[in-house]
Amino acid sequence: MTGQQRSAIRPGIEVDIVLKQDQRSGKLTRGIVKDLLTKSPNHPHGIKVRLEDGQVGRVKNIIN
């Protein structure tokens, strides 16, 4: 599941994100969502979140 819809993402779920410095390579980082930073209901590049370890990036995949 992609991370473009804000309604599909909530604190506590596991996601793959792309960090700002990894946008060119597309390297994914997995973690647990702490905060949602994007206010709009959807975003074409993925909803921006903060993980529990403090890293910030855009959601690419939601892990079931």
As averages over each run of 10 residues, the pLDDT of the chain (64 residues) reads: 93 97 96 97 96 97 93
Q: What is the pTM of this model?
A: 0.92
Q: What is the predicted pLDDT for the residue at 64?
A: 83
Q: Which residues contact 11 (CB under 8 A, 6 or more apart)?
A: 33, 34, 35, 36
3-state SS of the chain is: CCCCEHHHCCCCCEEEEEEHHHCCCCCEEEEEEEEECCCCCECCCCCEEEECCCCEEEEEEECC
Query: In the chain, what are the domain boundaries?
Result: 6-62
Q: What is the predicted pLDDT for the residue at 1?
A: 79
**CA-angle at 6, arms to 59 and 41, nearest 5°:** 125
Q: Which class in CATH covers the domain with range 6-62? A: mainly beta
